[in-house]
């Protein structure tokens, strides 16, 4: 596709429920990132994939959060037993390769998750 696509754009769920957020990166981009943006704050890193493997998951806040990228393209962020504090905009980004050379990451429009 032309850009990074995230679905759904909005998700409202009840406390304690399970949710899945999907990210379709730009075709050919091997690196994929998930960030979380709470209200009034900058995005915070969650997890980074290089191909199919999670190269760095140090930003995941706890074991309720998990992400997969089984075929090295689409990624799903999974949140179990959601809490009201999980409410935020979840952003996905992709780039051509490892960002150590300053490679630009392209961001999707995000999924706004509201836990009620």
Partner 1 sequence: AQSVTQLGSHVSVSEGALVLLRCNYSSSVPPYLFWYVQYPNQGLQLLLKYTSAATLVKGINGFEAEFKKSETSFHLTKPSAHMSDAAEYFCAVMGVNAGNMLTFGGGTRLMVKP
Residues forming contacts to partner 1 in the complex (CB under 8 A) are 3-4, 31, 33, 35, 40-45, 48, 55-56, 58-59, 91, 93, 98-102, 104-110
Distance CA 101, CA 42 (A): 23
Of the pair 17, 98, the CB lying nearest partner 1 is at 98
Q: The dihedral of CA 67, 93, 81, 38: what is its sign?
A: positive
With beta carbons less than 8 A apart as the criterion, state whether 62 and 81 touch.
no
Q: Which is nearer to partner 1, 66 or 106 (by Cβ)?
A: 106
From the CB of 30, what's the least distance to partner 1, in Å? 11
In three-state secondary structure terms, 76 is strand
Specify the residue, 80 or 114, whose C-beta has the smaller distance to partner 1.
114
């Amino acid at each position: 596709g032309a850009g990074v696509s995230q679905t759904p754009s909005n998700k409202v769920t009840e406390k304690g429920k399970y949710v899945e957020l999907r990210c379709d990166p730009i075709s050919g981009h091997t690196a994929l990132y998930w960030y979380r943006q709470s209200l009034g704050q900058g995005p915070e890193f969650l997890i980074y994939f290089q191909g199919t493997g999670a190269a760095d998951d140090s930003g995941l806040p706890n074991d309720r959060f998990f992400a997969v990228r089984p075929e090295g393209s689409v990624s799903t962020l999974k949140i179990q037993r959601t809490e009201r504090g999980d409410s935020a905009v979840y952003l996905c980004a992709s780039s051509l390769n490892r960002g150590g050379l300053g490679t630009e990451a392209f961001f999707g429009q995000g999924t706004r998750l509201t836990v009620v």
